[in-house]
Structure 1
Amino acid sequence: MNPLLEVEDLRVNYGHIQALKGISLNVKEGEVVAILGANGAGKTTLMRTLSGLLSPHSGAIRFHGQETTRLGADKIVRLGIGQSPEGRRVFGTLSVAENLRLGGFTRPPAEIGESCEYVYKIFPRLYERRAQLAGTLSGGEQQMLAIGRALVTKPKLLLLDEPSLGLAPIIIRSIFQVLADVRDTGVTILLVEQNARMALKLADRGYVLEVGRMSHEGPARELLASPEIQAAYLGHG
């Protein structure tokens, strides 16, 4: 079976600085794949390039066998790739309900309501806050909204960039339980996450990105057990 997502020798520059230096990876349908790395390794650059927000210098990105390397972000969403970005980026002056409905801009209007109801089911707090301005939500609630907004697109592939950033441990556990439930519905997930232990416990496979290059890859269980990965990313917990 061909991978759902294929990335081949991807190179991305910021001016004269090479942020990604020949990245290759693949994600199979139904998998959760985690990408680990220190700050500045290129993780967010990779996610922004996959979603069409950045244009690569060279390399190829294929989704369901179709090349998406030079497609705009709106076309990539329509193909079935949804993203919850780093920093949440909710529309603070709009309500929770309005943010969710905006997430469905590529969907037939009749289907948006059904998707919003699904999000309210998995994130009951958003239903309670549905009339509240997104900018007044807590950090955890905004993260739920960012993930929910991506799910309203009904993605085949969900890109998650640092979903636990800045959140309390109890909220992180809650969000990762929802992500496990989303995975069980058949949604494929590519996850960039600072909490390496949580990410690898959820994931099937993982990659480690170091200064724009892939340094390690393998089954999540093997990465969790690797002394080198433990020392660099997992601490002593």
Structure 2
Amino acid sequence: MNVSVVLVGAGLGLRMGGSVKKPFLQIRGKPIFLYTIERFSQIETVGEIILVVGQTEIPSLRDQWQNTLIAHKVKKIVPGGKRRQDSVYNGLCQTETDAEVVLIHDIVRPLVRKEHIETVISKAKESHAAILAAPMKATVKEASGNLCIRQTIPRNNLWMAQTPQGFNRELILKVFGQFKTEEREFTDDAEMVEKAGYRVEIVPGTDDNIKITTPEDIRIAEALLTNG
């Protein structure tokens, strides 16, 4: 089986602050994006990795990291779009046509486990659409506009969506093409697939597959890498 991976990191990273975008921040002397690439390049069935980053980051990536990227199966670096879904679509269109499964992953989730990646691949091959998600542990309250609680939502069937999200290549390209001109911004790729009427399966994940968004997340990632 041939698997393509689209790593998405073209956002502005405004919540982090500072002048360096999140994928290029360092943890223990190594940029976040490289940790993430290494997690996927070690998967035997992964044949290529496509990086989707901001247009201004492409020259420095090629100048400073080209040999390293090639060694880790990175075949193309493409510019992102206005919205996340536009960036993902740019990456999807660059994947090899013989790829059976495409994984879409936030480049700032550098701690994803190998066994979870492999299980998402397996599920996506079997059912055409699967995502990694962690069970909800917090008590969830629905509130009104004036912050009065309306109800407590049972958490038994609630999951926190993560990445990677894996899809049959033909299916995900068809779905993205269907919603390409829609103004609505989708929060993740599976939402689009759900709206198109397809079934999406969950692969149970863990809370340590964090998305690095704030300075505190950097400290958490450092601790997890030290203890792992």
TM-score range, shorter chain: under 0.3
Q: Structure 2 length normalisation: TM-score?
A: 0.28
In terms of fraction of residues, the more helix-rich structure is: 1
Q: Structure 1 length normalisation: TM-score?
A: 0.27
